[in-house]
Amino acid sequence: MYYTLHQLQIFLKISELQSITRASEELHLTQPAVSIQLKNFQDQFPIPLTEVVGRQLFITDFGKEIARAAEKIINQVEEINYKTMAYQGNLSGRLKISVVSTGKYVMPYFMADFMTENKGVDLIMDVTNKSKVVRSLELNEVDFALVSVLPEKLKVDTVELMPNKLFYVSNYDRKFPKAVSKKYLFEKIPLIYREPGSATRNAMESFIEKNNYSVHKKIELTSNEAVKQAVISGLGCSIMPLIGNKNALKNNELKIIPVRGLPITTTWNLIWLKSKNLSPVAVAFLNYLKDRKEGIIQKKFSWIEDFINV
């Protein structure tokens, strides 16, 4: 057998996604190139690695075994590279972070210079909802997680990054009565929610319940970006984190409606398990945050002050 590391990487990605198209997108390769490499790899085995049922590609049981072996080989090769760089005096290794979906507007700014300064560090960042973020932390699948609400059942250490403020937001052209009431905002206008499990949704529902509102028309979408586009289109209003709406607010696509009791304020926290044995890369990143956090906030997020007193 003469399979290459490149073929192992391609097959592992296909097995993860069960799609040649999606694998080619994530690997930044053309679909024909991925298909050819898959065929060349499969031809070296007497047992099929994949099968197509209808138009869906599936990994066979034997293929799953090969994928697991491929993952081990790739990890060992990466470990060799990390050890080589460490021997040369360079920080090296892999940093895994799970981020709640709105956190994608926050975490990259706290990572950029660290990654630039440490060429030997690889970053894996998974962006998903709060429930999955907490689950990945609980299973020790990641080094850190970024959340706006601390998990109740896990013992974690934390670094506070910055405030997270949620406002009632409308599209810019929506007309409101001169003396608009909270009852009107929450009971007469369709309200757009995030999916169950989202910290933004939980905060929104708690506010509504606390004020005894009866929402008559509810729209549910599965990402902050989808909610933003729905509000801009005039589909309804929502309580949304300020952090993801900078351009829409400055471009007069969205506007904040002042509501007593809002904004809801939480804090972006980088968290990790107290029992976690942090890698040298993870420790270096925490030290980096300690030294650079305030400067990053001032440089990248000072625009938030323009809306704090709305």
User: Do 168 and 261 fall within a single domain?
Assistant: yes
Last residue of a domain, one of 65, 84, 103: 84
User: Do 141 and 256 fall within a single domain?
Assistant: no
Concatenate the DSSP letters of all residues of 212-264 into one string. Answer: T---S-EEE-SSHHHHHHHHHHTS-BEEEEGGG-HHHHHTTSEEEPP-TT-SE
Could you report the per-residue pLDDT of 236-252, keeping only the tens digit for each?
Answer: 999 999 999 999 999 99
Residue located via tokens 């790739």: 74
- The candidate with the shortest Cα–Cα distance to 198, out of 232, 229, 166, 170, is 166
User: Do 41 and 190 fall within a single domain?
Assistant: no
pLDDT at 88: 60
CATH number, domain at 150? Answer: 3.40.190.10
Last residue of a domain, one of 63, 84, 105: 84
User: Do 187 and 238 fall within a single domain?
Assistant: yes
- Report the relative pairing of strands 50-53 and 56-59 from DSSP bridges: antiparallel
User: Do 192 and 246 fall within a single domain?
Assistant: yes
Residue 78: CA count within 13 A, CB half-sphere: 16
User: Do 61 and 95 fall within a single domain?
Assistant: no
User: Do 155 and 273 fall within a single domain?
Assistant: yes
pLDDT at 181: 84
**What is the distance between the alpha carbons of residues 290 and 110, in angstroms, rounded to a whole number?**
11
pLDDT at 253: 96
- Report the relative pairing of strands 238-241 and 254-256 from DSSP bridges: unpaired
User: Do 71 and 116 fall within a single domain?
Assistant: no
User: Do 220 and 275 fall within a single domain?
Assistant: no
pLDDT at 85: 61
Give the CA distances from residue 154 to residues 44, 134, 148, 304, in Å, rounded to whole numbers and listed in that order: 46, 9, 15, 31
- Structural domain of 210: 164-265
User: Do 197 and 218 fall within a single domain?
Assistant: yes
User: Do 22 and 153 fall within a single domain?
Assistant: no
pLDDT at 309: 61
3-state secondary structure of 43: coil
Below-70 pLDDT ranges, the chain: 1, 82, 84-90, 308-310
Domain count, the chain: 3
Q: Is the separation of the CB atoms in 99 and 85 below 8 Å? A: no
**What is the distance between the alpha carbons of residues 237 and 186, in angstroms, rounded to a whole number?**
9
